Amino acid sequence: MDKTERIQYFNNIAPERDKWKKKNWYYYAELEKIIKFIIPPNKEVLEIGCGTGDLLAQTQPCKGVGIDFSEGMIKIASKKYPNLSFKIEDAENLKLNEKFNYVIMSDLVGHLSDVWQAFRNLRKVTRYQTRVVVTYYNCLWEPLFSLGERLGFKMRQDYQNWLDLDSIENLLNLNGYEVIKKEYRFLFPKYIPLISIFLNKYVARLPLIRKLCLIEYLVARQKEGADSGSEKEFSSSVIVPCRNEAGNIEGVITRTPQIGKHTEIIFVDGCSTDGTTEKIEELISKYKDQKDIKLIHQGNPKGKGDAVRKGFVEAKGDILLILDADLTVPPEDLPKFYLALIERKGEFINGSRLVYPMEKDAMRFLNKLGNMAFSLIFSWLFEQRITDTLCGTKAIFRKDYLAIAKGRSYFGNFDPFGDFDLLFGAVKANLKIIEIPIRYKQRVYGNIKIERFKHGWLLLKMCWIAFRKLKLG
């Protein structure tokens, strides 16, 4: 569902919104109780994704502003609460530029196409003293929600992100916000006298059980100096390993944005047989006045890892980025990796395909299960949270890559993919690893290069190498 369809969906359900809230009054009463506990009366409050305005009104603000991209929702909110201000605005394209004491984003992140961008835009409406309150449903409840929608207990929802608190906290951190509180509430969402109070007030607070609660929320603040921006621009080199990707090459070139003060795109071809190299040479000539494009012939191909290393050797940029030629990761997301580096959020930026929902058929089911399992293993081995070990999109400063390359002999030249060579090296060099969630797209040209069982066995061997070197070494 694209943005236009999503807006129309919310316009259509706006007249029924209050009816469904009344039907599930116990949940909304608990949500209002949480927000009123966090936000004192008589404060300047902005709610992004305000719906029909009830939650904002409950905060009793001295200045209350609600924004929503649904005109239908805003019309109803304005009629219900004429003492508050309501505006049609999009969280991902925010025009509002006023500062508030509190900003509420309640049950919103699931509906956003780009949570990173929505959190980036918060800088327009927050100052250092501002507190940002984000609430959302616990992703463990997704099956029950789907069942409730089918049975008519809950209003049907469109596409949802289902991000956990750690992923939300990471996205806030990437945009200059630090979390100061994380909580879980509300174990039993239907009201049964005495039983509901006992479960929600006492049982829901117990260790471990609290993680099963329906409502997750966090409170964050803007880090001091987060809105000052980078003092220096850097040049960038985008390394694109490719083999038999002729149909994707022009998309890589036209969709890769300017990143920093100068961007070069370096294709490293692994003996393609479908006209990929000819296509690259044709497009180098076509875009010579607009783009800095280079072609390197890998020679005897030894896998993607070898191609990436050869591209890094030829790269001239201060920052090195990797982009797969299959366009399953949008090139438009590369500036997020650049910003995470120059704003010192991390020193090794790793893409993650396993946070947002994927396009249908973007990743085979067994591949996804394998990726999730290896992510858990490597998070334990690295003692840093890693949700995706094999996402091809990564970014690192050249100087840090040179340190990894210098210490490569410690692990050995074992990795045909290149992902583990860089991840292992980053851990050994004590670099801070940060992940950028990306939306993983379905391949539209060419064939997948991963062989599930052969490469799965190889990944297990890499786990053993990492265990020996990092835990026993």
409-452 pLDDT, tens digit each: 777 676 667 777 898 889 888 899 999 999 888 867 656 655 55
CATH of domain 235-471: 3.90.550.10
- Tens digits of residue pLDDT in 347-403: 999 999 888 877 766 666 666 676 677 778 877 878 778 888 878 899 999 999 999
Q: Under a CB-based contact definition with an 8 Å cutoff, are residues 470 and 430 in contact? A: no
Q: What is the pLDDT at residue 450?
A: 55
Look up the pTM and report it: 0.85
What is the average pLDDT score of the chain?
Answer: 89
3-222 topology per CATH: Rossmann fold (3.40.50)
Q: Distance between alpha carbon 357 and the CA centroid of its chain, in Å?
A: 10
Q: What is the pLDDT at residue 357?
A: 79
Q: What is the pLDDT at residue 370?
A: 67
Domain ranges of the chain: 3-222, 235-471
Q: What is the pLDDT at residue 415?
A: 63
Q: What is the pLDDT at residue 218?
A: 96
User: Who contacts 114 (Cβ-Cβ below 8 Å, separation ≥6)?
Assistant: 92
Q: What is the pLDDT at residue 2?
A: 77
Give the residues of the chain that fall short of pLDDT 70: 1, 158-159, 225-231, 360-368, 370-371, 412, 414-416, 443, 445-457, 472-473
